[in-house]
C-alpha cells in the first residue's frame, strides 16, 4: 500500500520529499509511550499498596483476636454462642473499616487533586475506583476478623482461661 501511495504522490509533485511512512496508531503510541509506562507503573504500585494494606489489615485483626483468646474463652464459659463471638469480632472490624473509610475517602479525594494532571481517562474522584477499594477492604476486614474469631471461638474455655 505504501508503494502505491508513493507513486500517487510522485505523480502529483515529484519534488515532494516522502519520508518514512508509518501507521498513525504506531506514531501515536510511540509519542505517548512515556505516559503509558508511567500509568502501568502507577497501577503496579497501587496494586502493591492495596495488597500490603490488605495483608496489614489481616495481620492486625488476627493479632487482636489472638490476644483476646482469654476474653473469648471467658465469654464462651459464661454461655456466649459461637455466632455471638463471631458477630462481635466482625462488628469490631466493620467499625474500624468505617472509621478508615471516613478518614480515607476525604484524604484520597484531597490527594487526587495533586495527581489529576497525571490521570488519563480517569476522573480525579473516580467513584468506581473508590467503591472497588471499599468493597475489597470490606471483604478483607470481614475475613480478617471472621477467621481468627472462628478459631478463637472453637478453643476450649478451660484452655483459653489457663493461657497467659
pLDDT tens, position by position, 112-142: 777 776 666 666 677 888 888 889 888 888 8
Cβ within 8 Å of residue 94, ≥6 positions away = 138, 141, 142
Distance CA 136, CA 124 (A): 20
Assess whether pLDDT exceeds 60 at residue 164.
no
Assess whether pLDDT exceeds 60 at residue 159.
yes
With cut-offs at 50, 70 and 90, classify the pLDDT of residue 99. very high
Tell me the pTM: 0.64
Residue 51 burial (10 A CB sphere; 0-12, 13-18, 19+): exposed
Rg (CA), the chain: 29
pLDDT tens, position by position, 26-73: 878 788 888 888 888 988 998 898 889 888 888 887 788 778 877 887
Amino acid at each position: 500500500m505504501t508503494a502505491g501511495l508513493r507513486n500517487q504522490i510522485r505523480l502529483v509533485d515529484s519534488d515532494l520529499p516522502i519520508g518514512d511512512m508509518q501507521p498513525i496508531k504506531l506514531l501515536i503510541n510511540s509519542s505517548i509511550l512515556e505516559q503509558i509506562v508511567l500509568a502501568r507503573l502507577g497501577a503496579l504500585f497501587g496494586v502493591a499498596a492495596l495488597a500490603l494494606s490488605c495483608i496489614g489489615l489481616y495481620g492486625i485483626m488476627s493479632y487482636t483476636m489472638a490476644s483476646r483468646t482469654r476474653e473469648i474463652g471467658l465469654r464462651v464459659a459464661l454461655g456466649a454462642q459461637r455466632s455471638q463471638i463471631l458477630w462481635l469480632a466482625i462488628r469490631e472490624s466493620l467499625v474500624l473499616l468505617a472509621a478508615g473509610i471516613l478518614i480515607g475517602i476525604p484524604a484520597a479525594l484531597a490527594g487526587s487533586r495533586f495527581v489529576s494532571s497525571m490521570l488519563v481517562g480517569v476522573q480525579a474522584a473516580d467513584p468506581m475506583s473508590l467503591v472497588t477499594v471499599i468493597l475489597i477492604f470490606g471483604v478483607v476486614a470481614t475475613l480478617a476478623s471472621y477467621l481468627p474469631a472462628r478459631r478463637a471461638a472453637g478453643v476450649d474455655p478451660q484452655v483459653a482461661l489457663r493461657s497467659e
